Amino acid sequence: MNVKQYLDSTYLKTASQAGLSEAENNSVVIKAIEEAILEGFKLIMIRPEHVVLAKEMISKANSGLLIGTVIDFPEGTSGIEAKIKEANKAIEDGADDLDFVCNYEAFKNGDIALVKQEILLGTQIGLANHKTVKWIIEVAALSDKEIIQLSALIKNVVISNFKEEEYSSVFVKSSTGFYKTENNLPNGATIPTIIMMLENASPLSVKAAGGVRSYDDATEMIRLGVKRIGTSAAKVIANGGNTTNQY
């Protein structure tokens, strides 16, 4: 199976997180964009400050590579106004996909109204600008029951407020890849969590992020019904290899 068109090749580390200078980290970003263009991946997923650079490189290469970026990453707690402001800037800069971190802490604390409102407004701004919108629920921070409930909540907000032909442009996404778990437990997509998401987010699509570390992992996720896979080792996976990368 050619998995390249399922892969969102991802580099989301800041310079400090990577232990690099700003210039060194920018070089890593440039190499990631170049690789995604050459390999023919679906999308390059980068931080908002790199979207303009990616747009220029992709245009110069006459490539069809899509640009994705993250919104309110990685905590998701900045509030609706901040999310919308960041999304607007990403759209202006040329992003194709907006991967919002859902305020899962608010959800866990019972502030369902806030979560519904941010999903509604974030999805509205994305779809109004013909963008793909993904909602990161951070499965490692949730119980199985909460994964089911939050996936269903996102689905219900979309079904209640948008047209059926727009559903394919909205995803529920498993993880940021940056959540710190105890005892080295998985912090991203696992088969059981993805199955729960698929069953409860449908007809919305699901993106598996974090924890997909091999070609076999990727093809299993695709077989289950996942439409996108986020990974920082896209080339290794596409070529049939394995990676120890956490994301």
CA dihedral over 104, 107, 111, 113, signed as positive or negative: positive
CB 204 within 8 A of CB 224: no
- Provide the whole-model pTM: 0.96
Of 3.40.50.2300, 3.40.50.1100, 3.40.50.300, 3.20.20.70, the CATH number of 4-238 is 3.20.20.70
Q: What pLDDT shows up at residue 240? A: 92
Q: What is the pLDDT of residue 91?
A: 98
> Could you tell me the end-to-end alpha-carbon distance of the chain, in angstroms, rounded to an integer?
22
pLDDT at 246: 60
d(CA 170, CA 233): 24
pLDDT of residue 38: 98
**What is the structure's pLDDT at 177?**
87
Domain boundaries, the chain: 4-238
Q: Residue 129 corresponds to which tokens in the numbers above?
A: 């600008």
Low-confidence ranges of the chain (pLDDT < 50): none
Average pLDDT of every residue of the chain: 95
Per DSSP, the residues of 118-152 read HHHHHHHHHHHTT-EEEEE--GGGS-HHHHHHHHH
Are 197 and 151 in contact by the 8 Å Cβ rule? The answer is yes
CA distances to 182, 203, 214, 243 from 210, rounded to whole Å, are: 16, 22, 12, 12
- For residue 10, the surrounding DSSP H or E stretch is strand 7-11
DSSP state of 96: S
**32 in Cβ contact with 231 (< 8 Å):** no
pLDDT of residue 242: 82
Amino acid at 135: W
Say how far apart CA 207 and CA 230 lie, in whole Å: 7
Catalytic residues: 99, 173, 207
2-45 residue pLDDT tens: 999 999 999 999 999 999 999 999 999 999 999 999 999 999 99
Other C-beta atoms within 10 Å of 168: how many? 12
Q: What is the DSSP letter of 31?
A: H
What is the structure's pLDDT at 181?
A: 79
Find out whether 58 and 32 touch, Cβ atoms under 8 Å: no
Any bridge partners for residue 172, and if so which?
135, 206
